Chain A
Amino acid sequence: MRQADEESFRRFAVAHAGKLRRSAYLLCGDWHFAEDLMQNTLIKIYRSWSRVQKDESLANYGRTVLLRTWLDEKRRPWRRSEQTAAAVPDRSDDARGPGDSPERLWAQDLVHQGLLRLPPRQRAVLVLRYFEQLSVAEAAAVMRCTEGTVKSQTARGLDALRASVSHLVGRVAS
């Protein structure tokens, strides 16, 4: 790779490493695994940098690579058998977030725990739409599917998330 290309890749990597790791964490629920996913994603982008660097939607390309990398990793047996969803605390975490009430923070933990119980593509579409704030068209481009699929997966994902959170709340209460 030419030195100029390598420099532009470095700038891209520095600008996007944190964002990729946060999205990866929401998908997988583990910061260490999220860091591996981020690194592998950036290495894959490096390999095709000369081809993709002029792409106007480079950030979305990075999201696509991250998504594929995560889905590929999930196929591996030690990922299949791992429990990514941490145990739900049976009470609020008083030590966290001085600005918010513990009850509210506990409820927000439930959103992520509920998310981690969804099928992978529903999980991905909710992260892209509600965390990355992508439009339906952008999410479709990242997921390499139609806008109709994004809409239907989003609706199903939200229903499943609500059911999952209700289930978690019920389990803690009982």
Chain B
Amino acid sequence: MSEEDVRSGLRDAVADEPPLHFDPDELVATARSQVRRRALVAAGLATVAIAVAAVAVPAMVGRDGSGTTPVADRPASSTPSPSPSTSAVPSPRPDQWPPPGVEPVTRTVDELRQRGKEMGEHLRGSLPATLPSATDFVHGEFGGEAEGEYYPEQTSINAAISFTIDGRRYSIVVTSWLPGSTGSPAETCVANCHRLPDQAAGALYDQTEDYDQGVIETVFHFRDTGAMVSVAAYNYDMTSGAMPTYHQSLPVSLDQLVAIATDPELEL
């Protein structure tokens, strides 16, 4: 089969294209409403954050510095400032992403495979402690496009882990990106996104995607090193290969997601 055969094969594959009923006005209306909704969510979250800070900061006055809450520790950095822009995502911290001075890092396939093995081993040991009510863990191998498979110039590795809580199967996906290889928080965290109080060297964002019955909550940890780790929790077992059985709630709390996302052992 020649390259010309490929060209003509692909050309002819779309020859039976069904009619396109494309209405640009409808598309613009949909896009506008999404932008408006994101702006409203951003404004709402900013209002809540300001209210929290208004209560937390006065409460700190007179304290001796011990026993402060994470929010009170860093009231300024944990409070998204209200933005006049239409973006739902607050300005990333650091303001420039990747952080100044961070050069994109590359790894060979062998290096990625080795790190994947190490991270897999680490998660086998750490997850039962982080998720104490979970049992019957099934750890997928780290990989790229497919489990255990890597390719040259790959910039992230990911693994899916499923487990049982109260007799129901759930799953999470852990993904680790090389320094300098991801877009900014505003480009990455795009659905119902809000910034969390800082708990480690970097910035934390939380995203919730709601697809009728399927819910995916993802915490992104943009690290000061320029690397990024995300953990996505599913209200079903996304590894089963069958039609999902959805459950009422997510299996992992926000604190647990943050604990995994900020784990220093998961840096690529």
The interface of chain A, by Cβ under 8 A from chain B, is 1, 6, 9-10, 13-14, 17-18, 21-22, 25-26, 31, 35, 39, 42-43, 46-47, 75-78, 80-81, 96-97, 100, 105, 107-112, 115, 119-121, 126-127, 130-131, 145-146, 149, 152-153, 158, 161-162, 165
Q: With A31-B18, A110-B9, A146-B153 given, name 4 new contacts (CB 8 A).
A: A21-B20, A76-B214, A76-B238, A149-B153
Compute how far the CA of A99 lies from the CA of B48 in the bound complex, rounded to whole angstroms.
65
For residue A146, which residues in chain B have a CB less than 8 angstroms away from its CB?
A: 153
**23 A-B pairs with C-beta separation under 8 A:** A9-B28, A10-B28, A13-B27, A18-B17, A25-B17, A26-B10, A31-B18, A43-B30, A43-B34, A47-B35, A78-B243, A81-B242, A96-B16, A108-B9, A111-B10, A112-B9, A112-B10, A119-B146, A119-B151, A131-B7, A152-B152, A158-B3, A162-B1
**B15 to chain A: closest CB distance in Å?**
7
Bitwise interface map of B from 17 to 39 toward A, beta carbon under 8 Å scored 1, else 0:
11010101101101110110000
Bitwise interface map of B from 54 to 87 toward A, beta carbon under 8 Å scored 1, else 0:
0000000000000000000000000000000000
For residue A47, which residues in chain B have a CB less than 8 angstroms away from its CB?
A: 31, 34-35
Residues of B within 8 Å of A, CB-based: how many? 45
Compute how far the CA of A21 lies from the CA of B14 in the bound complex, rounded to whole angstroms.
10
Once A111-B13, A120-B145, A146-B153 are accepted as A-B contacts, the answer to whether A17 and B22 lie under 8 Å apart by CB is yes
Interface: B8 (CB within 8 A): yes
Compute how far the CA of A111 lies from the CA of B4 in the bound complex, rounded to whole angstroms.
11
Compute how far the CA of A97 lies from the CA of B151 in the bound complex, rounded to whole angstroms.
39
Main DSSP-derived SS at the A contact region? helix
Once A17-B22, A21-B20, A25-B14 are accepted as A-B contacts, the answer to whether A111 and B234 lie under 8 Å apart by CB is no
Compute how far the CA of A18 lies from the CA of B12 in the bound complex, rounded to whole angstroms.
15
Contact in complex: A109, B13 (CB < 8 Å): yes
Most chain A beta-carbon contacts within 10 A, residue among B10, B12, B25, B152 = B10
Bitwise interface map of B from 234 to 249 toward A, beta carbon under 8 Å scored 1, else 0:
1010111111100000
Most chain B beta-carbon contacts within 10 A, residue among A31, A75, A77 = A77
Compute how far the CA of A96 lies from the CA of B211 in the bound complex, rounded to whole angstroms.
38
From B6, B145, B238, B243, contact of A158 by CB (8 A): B6
For residue B255, which residues in chain A have a CB less than 8 angstroms away from its CB?
A: none
**B233 to chain A: closest CB distance in Å?**
13
**B242 to chain A: closest CB distance in Å?**
7
Interface: B5 (CB within 8 A): yes
**A160 to chain B: closest CB distance in Å?**
12
Once A26-B13, A130-B3, A130-B10 are accepted as A-B contacts, the answer to whether A42 and B18 lie under 8 Å apart by CB is no
**A116 to chain B: closest CB distance in Å?**
10
**A28 to chain B: closest CB distance in Å?**
12
